[in-house]
Amino acid sequence: MSDTETLSPLFNPGSIAIIGASNVPGKISNIIIESLKNAGFPGAIYPVNPHHEEVNGLKCYPTVAAIGHIADIAVFAMPADSVLNALKDASEHIRIAVVIGGGFGEMGKDGAELEREIKAVLKKKGIRGIGPNCMGIFDNISKTDTLFIPKDRLQRPKKGGLSIISQSGSFVVTALDELATEGVGVARVISYGNKADINESDCLDFLADDEHTTAVAIHMESVTDGRRFVEAAARCAARKPVLAVKVGKLGAGITAARSHTGAIAGRFEAYKAAFRKAGVIEIDGYEDFIAGCKAFGMNKYALGNRVMIITDGGGMGVTIADACHSAGLVVPALTNWAADEIKALVPKYFAVGNPLDLTGSVTDEMYVDTIEKTMNGDSFDIAIIAALWGPPGLTDNLVKLVGDKADKLFDKPLIICSPGGEFAKKKAKLFRRRGMPVFQTPEAAVRAASILARVAKRP
Amino acid sequence: MSDTETLSPLFNPGSIAIIGASNVPGKISNIIIESLKNAGFPGAIYPVNPHHEEVNGLKCYPTVAAIGHIADIAVFAMPADSVLNALKDASEHIRIAVVIGGGFGEMGKDGAELEREIKAVLKKKGIRGIGPNCMGIFDNISKTDTLFIPKDRLQRPKKGGLSIISQSGSFVVTALDELATEGVGVARVISYGNKADINESDCLDFLADDEHTTAVAIHMESVTDGRRFVEAAARCAARKPVLAVKVGKLGAGITAARSHTGAIAGRFEAYKAAFRKAGVIEIDGYEDFIAGCKAFGMNKYALGNRVMIITDGGGMGVTIADACHSAGLVVPALTNWAADEIKALVPKYFAVGNPLDLTGSVTDEMYVDTIEKTMNGDSFDIAIIAALWGPPGLTDNLVKLVGDKADKLFDKPLIICSPGGEFAKKKAKLFRRRGMPVFQTPEAAVRAASILARVAKRP
């Protein structure tokens, strides 16, 4: 079997065994079984624990062997020092081992030795492994969820086209929680931790061919094999946009990344070069990661970097224009034609330009009419709409009107910027419910626009 | 009278006349009277309109002269082309004119001519003026509020020590709305618009001596008199921290700033030099402005730039460390003493360092105990606490415990970073209610830390 074929049970499991299943609510193994049920996992769930007959209402097996079938995935939910024996016991009866707990390579010499032994078992038995020291997988296609945080503390995003791979579990679950709130859909999420076996390149190889994945976001602390990464990333990026944030770049970060996933964070310049070579869009930190995921979650890409800014707050328009400039985006002047068309629509004392300031006299219709006049035609690639809700002429109907207009702007992303307090946050929710990407600050909106423009410029 | 003395009625008005008062709810003049009542303005409010006997339950006067007293402030809430005559009529009976509407210097030749005539009347009659093209003032000390947006659409911040001056009305009201949600208190806010009379330097002169103001944030598009600005800003910055964002720096921004408040945005390098000379902390854009206001709103300043990062998510810690490094902050290693003290407190498999990863085994007590061990002593100046709420050991009690600890850290700001979805946002609210500064992303927390560190380094 090819490497990618051996991964197939990970992304399309028919059965999942939970080794060390517990009836105690709040225990990791218990949460995972609940998560799988909540996700609507359609295959068989096999709790395994010699001390129980039943766990979470499911028949519990004393050993994996006792199940009588090969389990596609076995999740090892137990302390680090129990994993090796449990893996040996299960090794003839599973295809993929997911080792979620910490206490391995990231924790010094003893942990590293344990990790090496696990790796040896995986190799000898031909089992593929995720982890250790990871959150495992969250997959809206196969309806698999090994994230061991209950749903009240961690929302799961709806189904979408974006897939995410991350070395850090805490980073990716925090991002998923935020993306769920933002209404961004995801396809497959893999938190691979210390990568005793499956690494970033394995995941990219799979996602390159995955028809459910339309874009990929990577959060990494290290690369296992630079050459293989560039090959896999290039193959993936040739088919769908790929963005990557590399952390643990500098100073303190390096030390922290080393202890965190047992990886020595490589020199950053080498990563920059690798991303460039592979056509991967390099981004920086959590805010960029979220902005990129939200931008890609729209499933709508820009053709260039020319931004039209429409707002009812002049000062906010200038701030957005400044941020565009800093990000390398262009804010071109209106054509005479567009300016004349807009002047015919708005009171004569409006200063018509880009940014376009619709002032406190703004109405819902002015927004859509001016979006129409500026975004139809080929002068602009991306629109940033910063509706400030002070003026009485703005109503909830703005959301519907702008949303309908956005649907018609083929290949022209429309980004909402909604800064402010409670009122603005409520209106932001309406935009989100309408399926639009909403950002709380001018700079965040510009981050998303900038990433979209960089996708447009890919070779 | 000195210039500052002539401003005194602006900041401590005994009476306010609303010229062009209307009984129609939603009309600007009507909203202002409601705002003044909501603010608890203790002086006299005089609606002025020859067509009404009563407005909002208050006696309405046909002219300002008919009031029979000098009004400290007169707010002109009317279309641009009516302001000049109204100002002339009132000119013998008012001390400060606040002209809020647009349609002046920012709108081309005719508007500029109108603005010059208004300026001439102010000068001839010895009246001080705010605006035109502004939101006027919001003052928690004098309980004055001319912001013409109703309170359901725009929250007002509570009383605090931070004063804000802004050329742009939309920028400052959006920021105020957000600061209100964030629980940040403000003292005096002046939106001065086209500054036909009162400008940034006048405001800084007043705020330098104002005992209610402990810190100042400036949002500017242009400076009227560079030399005077440096003098006033230096005098203010010698007494309290002053931060400034200059917009309309570059490219499109310049054009937009010009049309927006009739100012020609000067070359940015000159501003940078002026800020440096005056000891003003230069910041960039909306996110920095909010981070700075939240940092200053704590009323607690750092002594240096050494950051301790405590989190229960290793990957998030690395991300914060990276952001610190990019911002010029230092993330020093733990001393052996502190590391040993912490090792005695946490499970032995923890990798103890900075960032400190308390892992999924975290408890409320671990946070406070490790804050205690790291922040007492002189190894660190600022703590960033990124509590991710996945682990079951974290409860609402964390907020109380961390809040109590923060109170005891004299001159050591403690910044909360709470990224994620609904659950994290709810917990962020608890921290805010406890009076702590909370940021939704690692980068935003670091922005605040960076500004605090720059205050520490002021000469």
Answer whether A349 sits within 8 Å of B252, measured CB to CB.
Answer: no
Q: Find the closest chain B residue to A262 by CA distance.
A: B351
Give the DSSP letter string of A273-309: HHHHHHT-EEE-HHHHHHHHHHHHHTT---SSSBEEE
Task: Give A112 to chain B, closest Cα distance, Å.
Answer: 12
State the Cα–Cα distance between residues B268 and B285, nearest whole angstrom: 14
- Residues listed for chain B: 459
Helix (H, G, I), strand (E, B) or coil at A328: coil
Mean per-residue pLDDT, B119-135: 96
Answer whether A168 sits within 8 Å of B313, measured CB to CB.
Answer: yes
Do strands A136-139 and A58-59 pair parallel, antiparallel, or not at all (unpaired)?
unpaired
CB atoms within 10 A of CB A36: 21
Do strands B136-139 and B144-145 pair parallel, antiparallel, or not at all (unpaired)?
antiparallel
Half-sphere exposure of A351 (CA within 13 A, CB side): 27
Q: What is the pLDDT of residue B234?
A: 98
Selected for mutation to probe chain B from A145, A191, A192, A319 (highest B CB count within 10 Å) is: A319
Answer whether B153 sits within 8 Å of A313, measured CB to CB.
Answer: no
Q: Which of B119, B79, B114 is nearest to B100 (CA)?
A: B79
Answer whether B174 sits within 8 Å of A248, measured CB to CB.
Answer: no
Query: Which chain A residues have a beta carbon less than 8 Å from that of B390?
Result: 149, 153-154, 170, 173
How far CA A74 is from CA of A126, A129, A276, B70, in Å, comes to: 14, 9, 37, 83
Q: What is the pLDDT of residue A252?
A: 45
State the Cα–Cα distance between residues A338 and A352, nearest whole angstrom: 10
| The pair of three-digit structure tokens given for residue A439, joined into one six-digit string | 């950002």
Q: What is the pLDDT of residue B351?
A: 84
Instruction: Provide Rg for chain A, Cα atoms.
Output: 25
| The pair of three-digit structure tokens given for residue A21, joined into one six-digit string | 């299943």
Low-confidence ranges of chain A (pLDDT < 50): 251-253, 264-265, 459
On average, the pLDDT of chain B sits at 93
State the Cα–Cα distance between residues A171 and A176, nearest whole angstrom: 9
Q: Find the closest chain A residue to B316 by CA distance.
A: A171
Answer whether A355 sits within 8 Å of B153, measured CB to CB.
Answer: no
How far CA B120 is from CA of A454, B70, B93, B197, B225, in Å, comes to: 52, 20, 17, 10, 19
Phi-psi sector, A20: left (phi>0), alpha (psi -120 to 50), beta: left
Q: What is the pLDDT of residue B160?
A: 97
Element (H, E) at A38: helix A28-39
Helix (H, G, I), strand (E, B) or coil at A188: strand
Q: What is the pLDDT of residue A300?
A: 87
Q: What is the pLDDT of residue B1?
A: 59
Q: Is the pTM of this model over 0.80?
A: yes
Instruction: Provide Rg for chain B, Cα atoms.
Output: 25
Task: Give B441 to chain A, closest Cα distance, Å.
Answer: 7
Q: Spell out the alpha helix ranges (H) of A210-282.
A: 226-237, 251-261, 268-278
**Candidate from A323, A326, A420 with C-beta closest to B177:** A420
Task: Give B363 to chain A, closest Cα distance, Å.
Answer: 14
ipTM of predicted complex: 0.94
pLDDT (tens digit per residue) in B50-104: 999 999 999 999 999 999 999 999 999 999 999 999 999 999 999 999 999 888 8
pLDDT (tens digit per residue) in B187-244: 999 999 999 999 999 999 999 999 999 999 999 998 999 999 999 999 999 999 999 9
**Candidate from B171, B318, B321 with C-beta closest to A313:** B171
Give the DSSP letter string of A428-446: HHHHHHTT--EESSHHHHH
Query: Which chain B residues have a beta carbon less than 8 Å from that of A351?
Result: 106-108, 259-260
**Candidate from A253, A349, A351 with C-beta closest to B325:** A253
Query: Which chain B residues have a beta carbon less than 8 Å from that of A260?
Result: 314-315, 317-318, 351, 357
Q: What is the pLDDT of residue B260?
A: 58
- Residues listed for chain A: 459
Query: Which chain B residues have a beta carbon less than 8 Å from that of A420?
Result: 154, 174, 177-178
Measured at the alpha carbon of residue A79, what is the angle toward residues A76 and A85, in degrees to the nearest 5? 65
Task: Give B406 to chain A, closest Cα distance, Å.
Answer: 24
Residue A307 β-bridge partners: A382
**Candidate from A168, A422, A441 with C-beta closest to B155:** A422
Omega cis (within 30) before A132: yes
**Candidate from B284, B317, B421 with C-beta closest to A180:** B421
Do strands B281-283 and A281-283 pair parallel, antiparallel, or not at all (unpaired)?
unpaired
Task: Give B251 to chain A, closest Cα distance, Å.
Answer: 7
How large is the angle between the packed helices B169-182 and A314-326, nearest 10 degrees?
Answer: 90
Q: What is the 3-state secondary structure (H, E, C) of chain B?
A: CCHHHHHHHHHCCCEEEEECCCCCCCCHHHHHHHHHHHHCCCCEEEEECCCCCEECCEECECCCHHHCCCEEEEEECCCHHHHHHHHHHHCCCEEEEEECCCCCHHHCHHHHHHHHHHHHHHHHHCCEEECCCCCEEEECCCCEECCCCCCCCCCCCCEEEEEEEECCHHHHHHHHHHHHHHCCCEEEEEECCCCCCCCHHHHHHHHHHCCCCCEEEEEECCCCCHHHHHHHHHHHHCCCCEEEEECCCCHHHHHHHHHHHCCCCCCHHHHHHHHHHHCCEEECHHHHHHHHHHHHHCCCCCCCCEEEEEECCHHHHHHHHHHHHHCCCECCCCCHHHHHHHHCCCCCCCCCCCCEECCCCCCHHHHHHHHHHHHCCCCCCEEEEECCCCCCCCCCHHHHHHHHHHHHCCCCCEEEECCCCHHHHHHHHHHHHCCCCEECCHHHHHHHHHHHHHHHCCC
| The pair of three-digit structure tokens given for residue B457, joined into one six-digit string | 């380094």
Omega cis (within 30) before B332: no
Task: Give B48 to chain A, closest Cα distance, Å.
Answer: 23
List, edge to edge, every strand of the sheet that includes B307-311: B356-357, B307-311, B382-386, B414-417, B438-439
